[in-house]
Structure 1
Amino acid sequence: MDYSFDNLRSVFGFLLLLAIAWAWSSGRNRIPYRTVAIAIGLQVGFAFIMFTVPFLRTALQSIAAGLGVLLQATGEGTRFAFGYLAGGPAPFDEVNPENNMILAIQILPLMIVVSAIAAILWHWGILEKLCQGIGFVLQRTLGLSGPLGLGTAASIFLGMVEAPMIVRPYLERMSRADIFLVMTAAMATVAGTVMALYITLLQVTIPEAASHVIVASFMAAPAAIAMARIMQPPEPADDAIQKEVPPPKLYQSTMDAFARGVQDGVNVFIFVVGMIVVAVALIALTDIALAAWIPDVDGGPVTTGRLFGWLLAPFMYLLGIPWEDCVDAGRLIGIKMVLNELLAFIDLSAIAEGQLAPRSRVMLIYMLCGFANFGALAIMVGGLSAMCRSRRQDFLDLGLKSMWAGVMANLLNGTLLGIFLT
């Protein structure tokens, strides 16, 4: 394989992100460098094992086919409920059938189905055992407490509120450093509910999108641990292992899991639809204002996306993105941080195949694959405050910092891939 200067810049970018985290640390003399090094090793190990172990690679590649079946099944339900709006036979002649795709009806309902299935799998113990297994690995390698390892592992599959809910009985006794780690993990990962959605959006232009999105979410857990321990290291008096108590039972029966999974999925669906409508409207308002105040540049109007691209392009170049792709990369990262990662993924899926280098496209999947944005931060802090009111001030104090730690954990993932991708 032929490596280039882009790979060398990714090495520099990886070290740069760690240096930024170190500069932002609340206690540089307390940073547990061994824990950070092992976490980065696990980050590399997750990617290496899942991409090279034959049966795991086969499993990852088969997920795309499984999601196709799941999307087809979801389509049956949406067509039954919404008729031709969901792709059923139209009661009129179609003039432009290529424009018939309705995101809110034909794609987003997949989140509701995945939410219900995930709830059932959790109640049956399948998903819970998987989280406990990953949590055990994190506990034995990094010295995390059982609850902390379980909460971090749950973030790979559950949402930014649901994952901390697993460790709700421990929140009141957790140190600030451990609370920060839980919050950072929730910001750096994505839930299975939207993971399937991202894969569906991307697999048209990226055949192995399923593999990359899943590996990115797994890698985000140790990356979040590394960033959290650098930026908010434990105090000397912090107890590493807390008293173990059984995690809370989330569902009473399979039917309860099904009903609540559907309800949670509907809540996420409504929130996502509302977020898209408002975010796109705000972008349009900003673009209208910019067009009125600023003359055209290079033959085109100055837009929010172009501003993000111009501002972040030098930083993306330092992380290993080729210069010709840096404006697009900066625009997507800006949209992800300020607005929503779903909008960034929709935008990424719409970029033509020849407009973005394959290496840049894959790196961006890893950089975008996390909840860290201002809207998600508000939801997480609100949910945590409702779970444990006595630690509300800690959640508020650490919230913004945890969001930036989540952003840097995602960038660390993408930059790590950039070191090895040709």
Structure 2
Amino acid sequence: MSYIIGIIGLFVFLGLAWIASSNKKMIKIRPIIIMIVLQLVLGFILLNTEVGNFLVKGISDGFNLLLGYAAEGITFVFGGLVNVEGSVFFMNVLLPIVFISALIGILQYWKILPFIIKYIGLALSKVNGLGKLESFNAVASAILGQSEVFISLKKQLALLPRHRLYTLCASAMSTVSMSIVGSYMTMLDPRYVVTALVLNLFGGFIIASIINPYDVDPEEDMIEEEKGEKQSFFEMLGEYILDGFKVAIVVAAMLIGFVALIAMINNIFLGIFGISFQDLLGYVFSPFAFLMGVPWTEAVDAGSIMATKMVSNEFVAMQTLSGGDFVFSDRVVAIVSVFLVSFANFSSIGIIAGAVKGLNEKQGNVVAKFGLKLLYGATLVSFLSATIVGLLMP
């Protein structure tokens, strides 16, 4: 029965994308079917095979090693402030972003990441029915992050029409940055984090192809590398280290604000209505959780965590999921975990619009105007990925 509900959910979420489509006649069915099949195949490999377990273990061990190195620097600076036996979220989850950001900068400087991004993007463009630029941007977003990725498109930004700009921004919101993947793995099972990264990449193409279909002129589909005065190695390293620290501080500030606001609103709702705000959101999101494959008995609690992610951010929701306040089956933990691994929340609208506006004010204003449609599409990507996992988990 759960498989039937999952298949119905798959069609419902694709249907919700179709309702919002800007040009229903231009939707290309064949690439969408191919990408859904790829999601199912890759998801099955990652979740249910020895090969998948080996790959996930290798990635997880790699990030654990990096987090161990990061801990050396954190302990040196903060010393006795680090709680060895307990867990300080800022120290153990956020500050490692500084070190991983530095590594990304080194790989960028040595042209390793640009090479990987370019050729994976070219391979994906053969499958997804979109342009090379869209495919390049999706891979770059998954590595660099939703604001930093637009720097690599600075020269082309002013020339992009509205429809292509939407797809680029939707990819940025549907993915996550590699600099914080290690942080996610401290709160969620690495298997679900890796699976979400892969599924969201294809899910972003699928939803964008339905909501925002168009043809790309091959002559306009060029990827220009950003050129300028080359930084020295240590200039670059210092810049990426500071950028990583800024990300950690911004996330910490957002968490303080959102957690405090949610606590206040919960108490206000409890006093007036006898139900917390999060529980109320849980009822709103519970039908969607049910369609993703969550049993109805757990759908309200799962919906509450999903809604928390959308109105605040994924870190708050992940902390709620891993905090032990809710008891879920392994299958529901997998579904909800995959849903949480993306930047699809209200604050991301401002982050992406601000990043684009910093590079091109006119295009930044365009992004701000379709901000809610961006969030709608990115949330559907999360629904789609989680539904695929619901179909694959026993």
User: 1:212·1:362 contact (CA, 8 Å) conserved in 2?
Assistant: yes
1:150 aligns with 2:136: yes
How far apart in 1 are the matches of 2:369 and 2:140?
23
Offset of residue 276 of structure 1: 0.6
How far apart in 1 are the matches of 2:247 and 2:227?
22
Offset of residue 48 of structure 1: 4.4
User: 2:142·2:177 contact (CA, 8 Å) conserved in 1?
Assistant: yes
User: 1:14·1:412 contact (CA, 8 Å) conserved in 2?
Assistant: yes
Offset of residue 291 of structure 1: 2.5
Instruction: State which of 206, 230, 236 in structure 1 corresponds to 2:210.
Output: 230
Instruction: State which of 361, 368, 384 in structure 2 corresponds to 1:412.
Output: 384
The corresponding residue for 2:175 is 189
The one-letter code of the counterpart of 2:2 is D
User: 1:151·1:163 contact (CA, 8 Å) conserved in 2?
Assistant: yes
The corresponding residue for 2:311 is 338
1:27 aligns with 2:7: no
How far apart in 2 are the matches of 1:42 and 1:389?
38
Q: Cα distance 1:253–1:10, how it changes in 2: closer, same or farther (>3 A)?
A: farther
Q: Which has the higher mean CA deviation after the structures are superposed, 79-88 or 150-159?
A: 79-88
How far apart in 2 are the matches of 1:340 and 1:47?
25
1:85 aligns with 2:85: no
User: 2:353·2:365 contact (CA, 8 Å) conserved in 1?
Assistant: no
Instruction: Indicate the SS of the match to 2:94.
Output: coil
Q: Cα distance 1:241–1:342, how it changes in 2: closer, same or farther (>3 A)?
A: farther
1:102 aligns with 2:115: no
Encode CA deviations 1:21-53: one digit per residue, 9 max, x unaligned: 101112212222233223323333443455578
1:316 aligns with 2:289: yes
Offset of residue 240 of structure 1: 4.9
How far apart in 2 are the matches of 1:257 and 1:211?
32
How far apart in 2 are the matches of 1:309 and 1:177?
33
Instruction: State which of 166, 177, 181 in structure 2 corresponds to 1:180.
Output: 166
Instruction: Indicate the SS of the match to 1:229.
Output: helix
Query: CA RMSD for the aligned pairs?
Result: 2.2
Offset of residue 73 of structure 1: 2.0
Instruction: State which of 90, 101, 126 in structure 1 corresponds to 2:112.
Output: 126
Encode CA deviations 1:165-185: one digit per residue, 9 max, x unaligned: 222222222232221111111
Aligned length: 393
Q: Cα distance 1:253–1:41, how it changes in 2: closer, same or farther (>3 A)?
A: farther
Instruction: Indicate the SS of the match to 2:73.
Output: helix
1:242 aligns with 2:214: no
**Structure 2: which 5+ runs fail to align?**
none
Instruction: State which of 261, 264, 267 in structure 2 corresponds to 1:285.
Output: 264
Offset of residue 145 of structure 1: 2.6
Q: Cα distance 1:361–1:53, how it changes in 2: closer, same or farther (>3 A)?
A: closer
Offset of residue 393 of structure 1: 3.5
Runs of 4 or more off by more than 4 Å in structure 1? 48-57
The corresponding residue for 1:298 is none
Q: Cα distance 1:144–1:256, how it changes in 2: closer, same or farther (>3 A)?
A: farther
Q: Cα distance 1:241–1:185, how it changes in 2: closer, same or farther (>3 A)?
A: farther
Offset of residue 13 of structure 1: 0.5
User: 2:94·2:248 contact (CA, 8 Å) conserved in 1?
Assistant: yes
Instruction: State which of 185, 190, 203 in structure 2 corresponds to 1:210.
Output: 190
How far apart in 2 are the matches of 1:316 and 1:241?
43
How far apart in 1 are the matches of 2:391 and 2:219?
35
Q: Cα distance 1:135–1:84, how it changes in 2: closer, same or farther (>3 A)?
A: same
1:347 aligns with 2:320: yes
Instruction: Indicate the SS of the match to 1:155.
Output: helix
How far apart in 2 are the matches of 1:38 and 1:240?
22
Q: Which has the higher mean CA deviation after the structures are superposed, 401-410 or 391-400?
A: 391-400
Offset of residue 72 of structure 1: 2.1
The corresponding residue for 1:267 is 246
Encode CA deviations 1:231-266: one digit per residue, 9 max, x unaligned: 1222x6x52552535311596343233211111111
The corresponding residue for 1:91 is none
Instruction: State which of 341, 359, 366 in structure 2 corresponds to 1:394.
Output: 366
Q: Could you tell me the percent identity over the aligned residues? A: 27
The corresponding residue for 1:368 is 340
Instruction: Indicate the SS of the match to 1:247.
Output: coil
Offset of residue 194 of structure 1: 1.5
Q: Cα distance 1:145–1:30, how it changes in 2: closer, same or farther (>3 A)?
A: closer
Structure ranking higher in helix proportion: 2
User: 1:339·1:373 contact (CA, 8 Å) conserved in 2?
Assistant: yes
Q: Cα distance 1:276–1:326, how it changes in 2: closer, same or farther (>3 A)?
A: same
User: 2:207·2:377 contact (CA, 8 Å) conserved in 1?
Assistant: yes
Offset of residue 55 of structure 1: 5.9
The corresponding residue for 2:255 is 276
Instruction: Indicate the SS of the match to 2:370.
Output: helix
Q: Cα distance 1:291–1:51, how it changes in 2: closer, same or farther (>3 A)?
A: closer
Q: Cα distance 1:311–1:53, how it changes in 2: closer, same or farther (>3 A)?
A: closer
How far apart in 2 are the matches of 1:16 and 1:404?
14
How far apart in 1 are the matches of 2:96 and 2:20?
39
